[in-house]
Amino acid sequence: MTKNELQFFLDIATLAAQAGGAVLKYYLGNLKDIQEKGRSGDLVTEADKASEAAILAVLERHVPEHGILTEESGELGDINSPYLWAIDPLDGTTNFAHQYPFFSASIGLLINGFPQVGVIYDPFHDELFQAAKGLGATCNNRLISVSKTDSLNKSLLVTGFAYDRRETSDNNYAEFAYLTHLTQGVRRSGAASIDLAHTACGRLDGYWERGLSPWDMAAGIVLVEEAGGKVTAYDTSPFQMSSGRILATNGYLHESLSQALIETPPLSSWKDK
């Protein structure tokens, strides 16, 4: 894949993210239809659907032969294509429904199964994060890079909780408590794409989460890696999109954060560690 080809796809992803973001701006504070998608707390609104339609229109116009995996409509087109777009038309729907300012339109392109292009548009703050393999990462056309924080006790981390957190003991609560104890703080924005974008630009030093889908992660992975960070499984083995688990850091903290996740004690005893 040449740099010119990647730039072409990056330009398309940018158009798509901006189209979706424009829809989100229109609906912010004006929602009339908020529904649950079968899992408690998993919301969908007319903004999700309208943003997806705007994004799909851009992709249909420019790359109609590519496969698409999107949160609302699922698999579209040839999903066995070497080019697969992973789309979240509104990442952070619950935030959006409450007008809490952490949400985005997120567009990632997997080429032969690996994230290669990513654009995350935060319409509330008008921040456009863009990256492609070998082309670097930017926010509003300015180069970004990860932080240089090299110890957990000086770090600010971010995480999230999956929709099944009420039904499973593997719910990230113990990890959240333990890492809060070891660091300067752990935030929870409620939008994986924003967490990854903020890790890429150095506002946060590391991020971990479970229960994610490809559309939550694809764009942000490219951003973090192109900004100089590292993305793996919790145990630092190669990242697997199908696992739904991600560890993304500035690189300096990667081993220590991984070790802390592995050694996290039960929630009932974390204060004694």
First to last CA, the chain: 48
The answer to whether 216 is annotated as binding is yes
CB-based contacts of 269-273 (< 8 A; 24+ apart in sequence): 270/174, 270/177, 270/178, 270/181, 271/181, 273/178, 273/181
Distance (Å, rounded) from C-alpha 147 to C-alpha 81? 36
CA-CA-CA-CA torsion sign (53, 55, 58, 63)? negative
Q: Which of 161, 183, 181 is nearest to 253 (CA)?
A: 183
Query: Is 91 part of any known ligand binding site?
Result: yes
The burial of 76, by beta-carbon neighbours within 10 Å (0-12 exposed, 13-18 middle, 19 or more buried), is given as middle
CA distance 22 to 84: 23
What is the 8-class DSSP label of residue 209?
Answer: E
Q: Where are the alpha helices (DSSP H) in 44-186?
A: 46-62, 93-97, 173-182
Annotated binding residue 71: yes
In this structure, what DSSP letter does residue 148 have? -
* Cα–Cα distance measured from residue 57 to residue 33, given in angstroms and rounded to the nearest whole number: 23
Angle at 203 between CA 199 and CA 207, to 5 degrees: 35
CA distance 72 to 29: 21
- Cβ atoms of 110 and 7 within 8 Å: the answer is no
Query: Which residues participate in the annotated binding site for Mg(2+)?
Result: 71, 88, 90-91, 216
Query: Which residues participate in the annotated binding site?
Result: 71, 88, 90-91, 216
